[in-house]
Amino acid sequence: MLIVPRVRKRRGQSIIELAVGLIALIPIVLVIFDLAVIVIAVQINDSTCREAARVAASGKPSDQQSRAQAVVNRANAKTAGMLSNFQLIGTPTSTVTQATADALAPYGGSLNGTVTVVTQVDVKPFVVQVVYNGSGPLQFRSQQTFPITYVVPNTSVGVP
C-alpha cells in the first residue's frame, strides 16, 4: 500500500510539469509562427514590387499604372487568405513621359530612363501585433526602380 500513493504523487507531478511546460511553450510557438508570416509577407511584397517595376518599365509610358496594378492584383489572387492585401502606392514614377516617347515618332527609338514602383502589404499577425501596437495591421513597404526597356516602333513608310 505504501507504493500506490507514491506512484499517484509522481503521476500528478508529471501532469503539472506538462501543464507548466505547455503554458511556456505555446506562446513561443505562436510568436515563431507570427514572425514566419511576417517574413513571408515581406519577401512576397519585395518580389511583387520588383515584378511590378519590371512590367511597368517594359511598355508604353502611358500604360505603366495599369501594368503595375495587374501585377499587384495577381499577387493578391495568388496569396488569397492571410496575405491578400497588397497595394500599389501612388502611381509609378517614371523619368520618361509619354510626350518623350511620342517625340520619337515616326522613326522610333529606345527610351532611356527608369520607373520606380512602391507597394505595401498589411500583415495581421496574432501575437506580435498585440506586443507592438495592439491595433491595426503591421504595414511593410517596398520600393523598386527598374530601367525602361521599351523601344518606340518605327512607323515611317520607306521610300519605294
In a domain, 43, yes or no: yes
What is the per-residue pLDDT across 113-159, written as a single tens digit (0 to 9) for each?
999 999 999 888 877 766 666 677 888 999 999 999 899 999 888 66
What cell does 145 get? 526602380
Give the count of beta carbons closer than 10 Å to the beta carbon of residue 109: 13
pLDDT value at residue 30:
87
In a domain, 144, yes or no: yes
Give pTM, 2 decimals.
0.81
Reported in sequence order, the residue ranges of 4-98 that DSSP labels E, i.e. its strands, are 86-88, 93-94
Question: Looking at the DSSP assignment, which residues form a beta bridge with residue 147?
Answer: 114
In a domain, 42, yes or no: yes
Three-state SS at 100: helix
The CA distance from 137 to 116, in Å, is 25
CA 12 remoteness from chain centre: 49
**How many structural domains is the chain composed of?**
1
Give the structural domain span for 50: 3-152
In a domain, 107, yes or no: yes
In a domain, 159, yes or no: no
